[in-house]
Amino acid sequence: MHNHNHQNSEPDYSTKKRSGEHKQHDNNTSQHHEHESHKNHGHKHHDHTEHHLQMIKDFRKRFWISLGLTLPILVLSPFIQNLLNYNFEFGFSKYLLFILSAFIYFYGGWPFITGLAEEFKKRQPGMMTLIAIAISVAFGYSTATTFGVEGDSFFWELASLIDIMLVGHWIEMKSVVNASGALKSLVELMPSEAHLLKNGDSEDIKVSRLKSGDLVLVRPGEKIPVDGIIEEGESNINESMVTGESKPVKKNRGDKVIGGTINGKSSVKVKVKGVGEDAYLNKVIKMVREAQNKKSKSQYLADKVAFWLTIAALVIGFGTLTTWLLIGKPFVFALERMASVMVITCPHALGLAVPLVVAISTSVSAKRGLLIRNRTAFENARKISVVVFDKTGTLTKGNFGVTRFGNFSKKTEDKEVIKLAASLESQSEHPLAEGILRKAREEKLNWDKAENFESISGKGIKGEVAGEKVKVVSPGYLKENNIKIPEGDFNDAQETVVFILKNENPLGFIALADEIRDEAFEAVETLKDNGLKLVMMTGDNKKVAKSVSEKLGLDDFYAELLPDQKLEKIKELQKNGEFICMTGDGINDAPALASADVGIAVGSGTDVAAETADIILVNSNPGDIASLIVFGQETYKKMIQNFIWASGYNIVAIPLAAGVLISAGIMISPALGAVLMSFSTVIVAINAQLLKKKMRTA
């Protein structure tokens, strides 16, 4: 682990070198294999997303066109005419019915026919195979009856089956957003251009053209374009999105910097060390991709059920045909029994069992501030045994704010302390300055301009305000100069305390910290009541981590971790049989979020964390994690109920369709099978709707 050399109660005003701090970082990153340049990731992501959107668009278009053609098919179908007791026939009506149905079969059914080919190629028959077989049997049998074979056509069943399956797949694809956006967000963090220095002049060139050893200029507020070493200048670098450290880090000549992090208020010249494949962020991208690919292979229960139903449909279907032929029944009779079996086995209900529940749970969850991007993870929320929290921005607010302030003199108002400090800090670029100035603005204070502003090496700042000598200093300065202050509670490990001196006399103090969110306390309590183990992993230093962990009453904490180390810890816990839910908000969390069984990003965090996660907490409220687990349990229950109904119905209906009880006068015709199938679908849909009620009360 790399060590941070600032004490938490001591503000890091020092100008000591911090190069040793990142040696571990070098070792860790060098262990990863080479990686493609981030330019290629952009193309791959773009292609992938385009393909995904095209598919959604395609299903939508096929559904609406097929639905439009289903209406005339229903009107022309003999079964529907008998059912509704009307007669609508003309010379070529049965051929028109055939033409419309043929169009729906080839146009609406095309994704399922090609899906069957794909599944056979992979030797994994599943839902697509089952749908394709059912629609093909329905189309083939109905076509045969149109052109002379004895029997009833069920083109209407073919059309409604295709409609339902198209809408099911469309809903399903919309509810599962592809996770590869994480790679795009990581790529976007890397600047595309850099200011290359040559013979004292700067030239803007593409980052991809930089070579190791080049010198680049990084101006204030810009992103550092590459991994490298500072050759000239010093600045505070905001590395929070990479290391999770809440304070910007002071960097001097000889210190290492990471591409994608943000420079503070001073220009620095950086010697290029890592570009393209060797860049630290690109190695993080690789970890994210590997973890995501692993996750995307998880098999859905629906596919397994569909696989066994496919086997059952084929075996029972052809078994039925063969059996009746061997008994000596006519081919037409045997074919009708086979068609009935095939049509009944096709899972209208199964095709909707998952998508409907997912669509409802995702929309209800979204209203409650939970955006679900990976439904497998959401269904698995019920299995969570350990919740891992990132600290900065998840359990804490993620920025340095004034937690308290006061004066040591009865003559001075408390706010005078903030006002004087703000006068000096307005000229400083120290991270603590921003917190003090923010407080001064909140209190609507007008501070004075400081004259003769100077930095006191490693211990604070000084200047003249309205003719008075004012200093903002660390506890170390008081100790060195033997300045006594009144007794007070200045030892909170989580706080950084500075003291204000006026003409060398202590006037007051200001305490700053990355505050714990109010909601975090409630969330920890709720999750503990649910019997979950709570762990914190942070890039911040041990003192701060220990303080936050103790205040919240967590079970364990790990501090000073880099992204790859967080990932290792997650894997370690998983090896011990734990089912991990990880929640975080920074790039430093991205690989761990992708690798955890359930990854939850806090909405206020970086796009990368959100893109890598399975679920996003829009309101950044850790308390929503408890709701998520309850929602996950309810959603899973509804799916299982729907599976049992959809499959259980088949267990009863298939033997009847095959003609097992024909001697007792019980036989299901293909048309009646279709009606029963529709009834089964309605029940599944109603059961899915009941989820709304359950989730509202959760």
Convert the pLDDT of each residue in 332-353 to its tens digit: 778 778 877 876 776 556 666 6
**Average pLDDT, stretch 289-295?**
50
- Contacts (Cβ under 8 Å, ≥6 apart) of 677: 157, 161, 343, 344, 346, 348, 349, 653
37 has a pLDDT exceeding 50: no
Q: Which residues pair with 461 in a beta bridge?
A: 455, 472
Q: What is the CA radius of gyration of the chain?
A: 33
Share of the chain above pLDDT 70, in %: 75
480 has a pLDDT exceeding 90: no
Measured in whole angstroms, the distance separating CA 573 from the mean position of its chain's CA atoms is 20
586 has a pLDDT exceeding 60: yes
387 has a pLDDT exceeding 80: yes
Q: What kind and span of H or E run contains 327?
A: helix 301-327
Distance of alpha carbon 594 from alpha carbon 291, whole angstroms:
5
SS3 breakdown of the chain: % helix, strand, coil, rounded to 5? 55, 15, 25
Domain 398-515 listed as CATH 3.30.930.10: no
Share of the chain above pLDDT 90, in %: 12
pLDDT of 672 reads: 67
By C-alpha distance, which of 560, 538, 536 is closest to 549? Answer: 536
> pLDDT confidence of 14, banded at 50, 70, 90?
very low
174 has a pLDDT exceeding 80: no
580 has a pLDDT exceeding 90: yes
Distance of alpha carbon 584 from alpha carbon 570, whole angstroms:
13
Q: What is the DSSP string of 166-179?
A: HHHHHHHHHHS--T
276 has a pLDDT exceeding 50: yes
How many beta carbons lie within 10 A of that of residue 71, not counting itself? 11
> pLDDT confidence of 552, banded at 50, 70, 90?
very high
**Average pLDDT, stretch 391-401?**
78
Give per-residue burial for 622-658: e unless 16+ CB within 10 Å, then b: bbbbbbbbbbbbbbbebbebbbebbbebbeebbebbb
More confident residue, 681 or 224: 224
Give per-residue burial for 344-378: e unless 16+ CB within 10 Å, then b: bbbbbbbbbbbbbbbbbbbebbeeebbbbbbbbbb
> pLDDT confidence of 28, banded at 50, 70, 90?
very low
Domain 211-274 listed as CATH 2.70.150.10: yes
154 has a pLDDT exceeding 90: no
More confident residue, 257 or 352: 257
The pair of structure tokens assigned to 462 is 């000084």
pLDDT digits (tens, 9 = 90+) for 653-698: 778 878 888 878 777 765 566 566 667 777 777 887 788 777 666 6
More confident residue, 38 or 142: 142
pLDDT of 284 reads: 63
CATH entry, 371-395+517-618, from 3.10.310.10, 3.90.550.10, 3.40.50.1000, 1.10.3720.10: 3.40.50.1000
Distance set, CA 250 to CA 8, 236, 548 (Å): 15, 4, 24
- Where do the structural domains in the chain lie, given as residue ranges? 48-186, 211-274, 371-395+517-618, 398-515
551 exposure class (CB count in 10 Å sphere: 0-12, 13-18, 19+): middle
Shared fold status for 211-274 and 398-515: no
By C-alpha distance, which of 120, 107, 429 is closest to 247? Answer: 429
Which sequence positions are flagged as catalytic? 390
The pair of structure tokens assigned to 686 is 């109603």
Distance of alpha carbon 131 from alpha carbon 162, whole angstroms:
8
33 has a pLDDT exceeding 60: no
Q: What is the mean pLDDT of the chain?
A: 76
**Average pLDDT, stretch 143-163?**
81
pLDDT digits (tens, 9 = 90+) for 493-547: 667 788 999 888 888 898 888 778 888 898 899 888 888 899 999 877 788 888 8
By C-alpha distance, which of 178, 371, 189, 376 is closest to 285? Answer: 189
Instruction: Tell me the one-letter amino acid at 538.
Output: T
Distance of alpha carbon 158 from alpha carbon 104, whole angstroms:
8
Q: Give the β-pairing of 235-237 and 201-206.
A: unpaired
Lowest mean pLDDT among 34-48, 362-376, 592-606, 641-655: 34-48
More confident residue, 637 or 536: 536
45 has a pLDDT exceeding 70: no
Q: Give the β-pairing of 598-602 and 615-617.
A: parallel
pLDDT digits (tens, 9 = 90+) for 71-108: 998 888 887 787 788 888 787 888 899 999 999 999 99
pLDDT of 171 reads: 66
Lowest mean pLDDT among 168-177, 316-325, 581-590: 168-177
By C-alpha distance, which of 682, 388, 681, 642 is closest to 524? Answer: 388
- Contacts (Cβ under 8 Å, ≥6 apart) of 100: 69, 72, 73, 76, 155, 159
> pLDDT confidence of 415, banded at 50, 70, 90?
confident
Q: Give the β-pairing of 235-237 and 249-251.
A: antiparallel
Distance of alpha carbon 125 from alpha carbon 440, whole angstroms:
67
